Structure formats: structure tokens, C-alpha cells
Amino acid sequence: MVARRVLLLHVAAVVVAATCVRLGFWQLDRLEQRRAFNALVRAREAMPVEPVGRLLGPEGGPVAASYRRAWAEGRYDPRHEVLLFGRALDGRPGSHVLTPLLLPDGRALVVDRGWVPLDVEEAPVDRAAPPAGEVRVEGILLPPESEDPAALAGTRMDRVSLTALSRRLPYALLPLYLELRRQEPPPGPLPRPAPPPELTEGPHLSYAVQWFLFAGVAVGVYVALLRRELRGAPTDAAGAAGRPTGVP
């Protein structure tokens, strides 16, 4: 009976400790991925500003153009503007305004023009109307956050889904959208430009340390229980040997 308990204790300790160690190394791998991604974004943002058409042309593409600084010229189409809700700025709840920019080749580039407060519920946003004429925009090209065609409900969406937007538009969309940094003519007080995304390493290192500590705790508990089992084994055996046959 004691040998069986000890065997089960061995198995449980190995499984728990190995699982914790594996999760710790998984978090370290996630950390390296995050660091590599941050380095890629910083390197691309440091590259020269290029026209959108060149970055997304035959020699480029959405993968190579993601997180690059780009510029484009065209006319905004506020009739097909939507709100990206659930986006805070300086602790204040609100939405981002996504407006298609009609390009000379007939396609459109979705531009995240910035933040508006929560009391703005419908698009197009009167208090944040774009210029009516030709504009030049400059910003960061970003990949869509989702491909879900159901991300858009009315004039509101919770994730940037160019797939959902394209189903409502009478023209084709570029595969990336632009987070606005500069515009000529300059924008008004609203929308307020979104700050650049913060490139952090996330909680992966602390999570890895926690998993390794859990593995150490599992080993410590295993040693303590094993010692208790081994201390009790001789007593149990002696008691069993000293009992008369047939006496429970």
C-alpha cells in the first residue's frame, strides 16, 4: 500500500513540475516573440515615409508594408464613416473615427482619424467632420485587427475589420489601414490624434518566473510528502508483522 502511494506521488510530482516548467519556457518564448515584434515595429517606423501606392504595389505588399510610415492624397468619404468604439484616451472612454479616403486610382484607404468622446454615438461625426476637398495624410500602416465580417453593426465596430467594411462600400479597399499622424489641411480639435501604441514586453517574464516558482513548490511538496510516507512505512510494517494471524 505504501509503495503504491509513493508511486502515485512520484507520478503526480513529475507531471505537475514538468507542466509548470513547460509553461514557464512557453512564456519565455512568448517574451522573445514580443521583443522581436517590437524590434520590427521600431525598425520599420524609422524607415523613410513612402507613398501608400509604392508600399502596397507589386514590389511590396501588406506584410512588408505593415508598420511602415506612409502618405497618401485623396478625398475623404464621410458618408461611409464608422466608429471604432471602446477606445479610451487619457482615461476617458470614447471611439475612433474610421473614414475611407478615396484615392486617384478608384480604391480607398481607411484612415483612423483619431479619438472622439463617448457622447458621440453616430457616424458621420458632425463635430469631427473631415475637410471637404483634397487632403494629404501621413501615418502608420496597420494590419486589420480582425477578418470577421460581423464586426460591423450599423455604424459601429469593436475591431478594425476591413472585410466587414468592404462589404458595404462601392469601391475596393487597400489591405491595410492608416493610423493618422499628420494631415494637410490640419484637422480641427476633433478627432484627437491617437497616441502611438506602446511597445511593451508584456507580463511574460513575470509569468515565466511564477511558473518556475510553482515547479519549485511542487518539488518541495513532493519531498515533504515522500519523507512522511517513508517515515511511516517501518511503523506500518512492524505493526502488521506483530499482529496475530486473523487479527485485524
Model confidence over 48-83: pLDDT tens digits?
999 999 999 888 899 999 999 999 999 999 999 999
- Rounded Cα distance, 69 and 140, in Å: 5
Mean pLDDT of 33-62: 93
pLDDT for 248: 44
Total-model pTM: 0.82
Packing angle of the helix pair 2-45, 204-242 (nearest 10 deg): 180
pLDDT tens-place string over residues 172-219: 999 999 999 999 999 889 999 888 878 889 999 999 999 999 999 988
Query: Do 96 and 87 touch, CB atoms closer than 8 A?
Result: yes
Question: pLDDT-based confidence at 122, cuts 50/70/90?
Answer: confident
- Rounded Cα distance, 23 and 29, in Å: 10
Mean pLDDT of 157-168: 94
pLDDT for 238: 47
DSSP H or E stretch at residue 79 = none
| Residue 183 β-bridge partners | 137
Query: Do 130 and 110 touch, CB atoms closer than 8 A?
Result: no
Question: pLDDT-based confidence at 243, cuts 50/70/90?
Answer: low
Place of cell 475589420: 161
pLDDT for 244: 52
DSSP H or E stretch at residue 114 = strand 108-117
